[in-house]
Amino acid sequence: MGKPTGFIEYLREIPLDRAPLERVHDYKEFHHHMEEKKLRNQGARCMNCGVPFCHTGKLISGMAAGCPINNLIPEWNDLVYRGQWKEALDRLHKTNNFPEFTGRVCPAPCEGSCVLGINEPAVTIKNIEAAITDRGWDEGWVIPTAPAVRTGKKVAIIGSGPAGLSAAAQLNLAGHTVTVFERADRPGGLLMYGIPNMKLDKQEVVLRRIQHMEREGIKFICNANVGENVEPQVFLKEYDATVICTGATLPRDLPIEGRNLAGVHFAMEFLTANTKAVLGQKGPSPILGTGKDVVVIGGGDTGTDCVGTSMRHGCKSLLQIEILPKPPLERAADNPWPEWPKTYKMDYGQEEAAAKFGADPRVYQTTVKKFIGDAQGKLKELVTVEIKWEKNDKGQFVPKEQPGTEKTRPAQLVLLAMGFLGPEQALLKEINIETDARSNIKAEHEKYTTSLKSVFAAGDCRRGQSLVVWAINEGRGAARECDRYLMGATDLP
């Protein structure tokens, strides 16, 4: 695949982003496009490596290694190198319903498992994927394709995040009549309100795909909160099958002194309100970091999105607290290829904070002991303490506070971005569906069948908090098994 000597002739190159101090003044996507010649050169770097790990999609040491949806990466890299863009798009759509999403927000475990990445910078797989799909839309190659024959079977999807959307797309392809129920005022789930606009444009990318799916025959019903204003029994009575894709939206809290002070918010509360304001949607007033000392607790993608959003508000200062140690610059001995490389990097939000305030905003091996308020009950400070990870009597690593390391820091806005515990339980209890020890819907991977007849589960509500690309994997898999249940056999992949 690619050019036999391409990995020798061409260095890894990615498109330049808009300058950090420029892009913090708007919510437009910050990635520039790369000219075709350079993209083809990057495709040429994909070796005919014989055993490509980039599309294996395995879990190694609990992390994704390779592409969870088994994208045919060497094939479309080769087609880009040869200038066959439409054929590259066809290959991409064989495994991925929404490459315009993953090409923007996926952390690219494929690149972490690229064979070239053993001793050279990996192939720019994510950037090439985004270029292929964007060109496909620009050229008009992405056209609605309704199934030639309908089966007469009706399927309901609860939740319109990446798992729900991919399940809907695949079941519609199989000829079933699909209705997607979404509790928010717009479809898309976390793609719409959980990821900021500068990272994934809502009008030009997310809603474009939703409208495309509608033209293919999929129906979306918004403001439909199953268990509140939609009776759950409707699904068992009126639909031949149901796929639950409600996500893992129950946030991890920080129950310490001062937690109830005004100014302490969950990350998703902050991000959702902000995106609604950016889109001009009605809803609660956005939570603003303008002129405030902002502290983000948590170091994942959600934490980064809180940093980037706070920078666009014009915060006075920005601190991001991580409880884990600072990663090394190179792979550690216990983190070998093809595992996901746990190495130090600055994402877009940290780059912006560093450009304005002079340094990476993150502090490591630190936790918050308490929040301090003023006489009006508003947050004004917090107390942090450094920790050290030590083994307990069971051999488990646990954080131990280090005496004498307490610091009182200014903070008028704190954003809790410490991950999610699992799906919200109200609906699951109402329909009496079986859950596992982690409170997720109990359904075996690759089968997706739940304790309720004709009801399937996919995505974060089944597997726990994970990547968008894993949600797409699960939505496609649940669609396959749902189709098999309805028809006795299936042609879905």
The DSSP annotation for 236-287 comes to: HHH-SEEEE-----EEPP---BTTTSBTEEEHHHHHHHHHHHHTT--SSPPP
Distance, in Å, from the CA atom of 46 to the CA atom of 34, rounded to the nearest integer, reads: 17
Q: Residue 447 domain-assigned?
A: yes
User: In terms of domains, do 410 and 434 share one?
Assistant: no
Q: Tell me the three state secondary structure of residue 442.
A: coil
Instruction: Decide: 365 and 324 in contact? Cβ < 8 Å.
Output: yes
CA angle 121, 125, 130 (to 5 degrees): 140
pLDDT of residue 1: 64
Same domain, 224 and 320: no
- Residue 273 lies inside a defined structural domain of this protein: yes
Number of domains in the chain: 3
Report yes or no on 24 lying in a domain. yes
In this structure, is residue 465 part of a structural domain?
yes
Instruction: State the first-to-last Cα distance of the chain, in angstroms, to the nearest integer.
Output: 24
Instruction: Kindly list the averaged pLDDT for each block of 10 residues, start to end, along the chain of length 493.
Output: 86 95 97 94 90 88 90 95 97 97 96 93 96 97 94 98 98 98 96 96 97 98 94 90 97 97 98 95 88 96 97 98 96 93 96 98 98 98 97 92 97 97 94 96 96 97 95 98 98 95
Contact 478, 469 (CB under 8 A): no
Distances in Å between the alpha carbon of 71 and those of 1, 84, 232, 355, 473? Answer: 15, 17, 36, 35, 11
**pLDDT score of 236:** 82
How far CA 463 is from CA of 348, 395, 440, in Å, comes to 28, 26, 7
Same domain, 230 and 257: no
Q: Is residue 149 part of a domain?
A: no
One domain, residues 63 and 124: yes
- 183 and 79 within one domain: no
| In-domain check, residue 1 | no
Q: How much is the pLDDT for 283?
A: 75
pTM of the entire predicted model? 0.95
User: Where does a domain end: 112, 139, 166?
Assistant: 139
Question: Is residue 182 located within the same domain as residue 265?
Answer: no
Within this chain, do residues 29 and 131 fall inside the same structural domain, yes or no?
A: yes
Domain span at residue 90 reads 6-139
Whether residues 200 and 128 fall in one domain = no
**Are 321 and 364 in a shared domain?**
yes
Regarding whether 132 and 258 lie in a shared domain, the answer is: no
